Structure formats: structure tokens, C-alpha cells
Amino acid sequence: MSRQALEELKQQIPLLDYLQAHDWRPARRLSRGRLMGLCPLHCDHKPSFLVDPGKSLFYCYGCGRGGDVIRFAELYHQVRFPQALSLLHQWCGLAPLLHQAAGFYRMQLHRYGEAVGYLLQRGVRSPELIEHMRIGYAPGGCLRSWLMQLGYSLQALRQAGLVTAVGYDAYTRRIVFPLEGNLYGRSLSPSAPPHRFLPGAKGGLYNWEQVRRYPEVILVEGLFDYAVLWQAGFYNVTCSLGNHLNARQFQQLCDGPRTVYLAFDSDANGSGQTAAQRMSRLLGAQGVSTRRVLLPDGHDPNSFLVQGADARQFQHLVETARP
Ligand SMILES: [Zn+2]
């Protein structure tokens, strides 16, 4: 890649935009427009990450690392220079495309009785919740033509993973939840794999920007767990999309003083609780206090609430959670 192409890429992606899209927020403003906040590259407890938006450069007084947006992408995603470039290129084109796809799926939701029926079966009832999570439905077979009408090339759709190599919509009969930089699709059909993501990272913790300010946070495995808890008035809930944390999610939970309530599945093989114990040790080593919420056997937060428990009963489990 030529020097000029590198400069163009950097101009397309101001460092501050990229940082903000990855949940970074300044803690205070300094002279000449510079900003100071927690470092996203190490487990930081007092703001030591300096950003100069005018020059699109950063420097961390804690871990001593600094540079431009490409250097940041290398360190943040732990990849080499060429991979960092391709991630940044993808990021430029992907965000608007996923936004369009998610908008299309949202328009479909109420046109398909099977989709609404499935949501009801999983306890998702309130229009505010559907709006809050921007829930959509992928019937299959019509996203491609919609996006191509909007001017996207078939190649771009394939690269994003929205369309398969042979040209079909990748998501068929799936409830779709937009994530940051991805779309999660839950299958309605018992013969298809239940959980799917588009290629690429699943991103950070769900709705973290809103949740991070609570001193007590409830962490669940799945978005349907998140959904019913949010609907029941637990706004301090977040979701890791699986029972292990990626590096980014781990760093997010460590970004300030808080207690994390791990409300993982109480499944027969014990995998949810084993994962919760392991996570609790790892977070404890970083000074984050955790409690394990014990659900009745065979339940996850979704099934617990769907099968008749109310907010007060879940709150009781939270209050009696074990260290
Ligand atoms: Zn740092």
C-alpha cells in the first residue's frame, strides 16, 4: 500500500470516531482540544489515555503506547499491520451496510406471524423492548435485492457475509439483533444451527455504554435473557453472547469499580456454572468483585421469567447470589 493510500485511509477514519465506535469516552478535556480517558489497551483505573483529535494521535501514560489509528487498531485487535489495515478498510464500508440490513430486517418483523409468535414464546412482548433492541426478522430471500437496489455490490454483500458465496441471503428464518459491527441471528427452524453471527468479532458487551455507569451489573449469556430482564425493569443488565468473554468484554468489565452478578445458565452439564466460576476467578484477579446468581436447575434467566417468575423473584436470586 502506498504512502498516499495510507494517508487517505487515516483521513477517512478520524481516530476519535474509531475510538468512540469502540466505546471509548473521554473523562476530561484538556487544553487545545485534547482529551483524556481510560486506556482501552490495558486494565486502566485512572484516566491515562491522551487523545489529540486534531492530529488523530494517542498516547497512554500507563502502558506507554501511542500512535495513529492504524497503530491503535493493531494494539486493540492484537493483529499485525496488514491485518489492521484490512480491519480498518472493512470498518469503513461495513458500518453503513449493516445499518441498512438491520433496518430492512426491522421492517420485516411485523409482516411475519411466525417471527412475532416466536418472540412471544420467548417472552418478548413490549414494543419498547423491540424498539430498544432494534429486533428484526430475516425471512430469507429478499435482503440481497433490497441492498443491491440501494447500490451495494454483490461482492460487498458477500464480504460482509450477508449473502452466501452462491448468492442466497445468509440469514433465513432468523430473528436478528444488531450488535456493534455484527448481526446476531437466532434461528426459528429447529434443523438449522440456532446461533449465528456474521464473520468478524461479536463485539463488546451488549449495550455497555448505558450499563457501565451502574455500580452493580448483571451479566447474562444470551440476548433473550437480556431481553426479558430488561423488560422486567433490570436496566443494569448486559450480555456476553456466550459464556466466555472476549478480551474486549473482559476489559470493559474491568474499566471501573463495580460488582458483577453472573446470571449464567443452570444447565444439566454444568457448563454455565463452570464458566461462571472461571470468570469469577479471572475478574477477581483484576479487582472486580463478582457474585454467582443461582437459577433453579435447568433454567436460564429467559426460561425462569417465561415460565412465570416475576421481577421480585429474580431480584431475590440476585440478593442471595454467592460470592
Ligand atoms: Zn494504556
Res 5: pLDDT: 85
pLDDT tens digits, residue range 164-205? Answer: 999 999 999 999 999 988 999 999 999 999 999 998 778 889
Return the amino acid letter for 47: P
Are the C-beta atoms of residues 44 and 62 closer than 8 Å to each other?
Answer: yes
**pLDDT confidence bin for 8, thresholds 50/70/90:** confident
> What SS3 class is residue 241?
coil
pLDDT tens digits, residue range 197-241? Answer: 998 778 889 998 889 889 999 999 999 999 999 999 999 999 999
Return the percentage of the chain with pLDDT > 90, whole number: 73
Place of cell 449493516: 98
- CA-nearest of 110, 135, 115, 322 to 223 is 135
Cα 30 from Cα 150, distance rounded (Å)? 42
* Cα 229-231-232 angle, rounded to 5 deg: 65
- CA-nearest of 241, 207, 212 to 224 is 241
Report the separation in Å between the CA atom of 41 and the middle of ligand 1, taken as the mean of its atom positions: 5
Res 152: pLDDT: 92
Q: What is the mean pLDDT of the chain?
A: 93
Report the separation in Å between the CA atom of 221 and the middle of ligand 1, taken as the mean of its atom positions: 28
pTM for this structure?
A: 0.79
Report the separation in Å between the CA atom of 69 and the middle of ligand 1, taken as the mean of its atom positions: 15
DSSP state of 204: S
Report the separation in Å between the CA atom of 38 and the middle of ligand 1, taken as the mean of its atom positions: 8
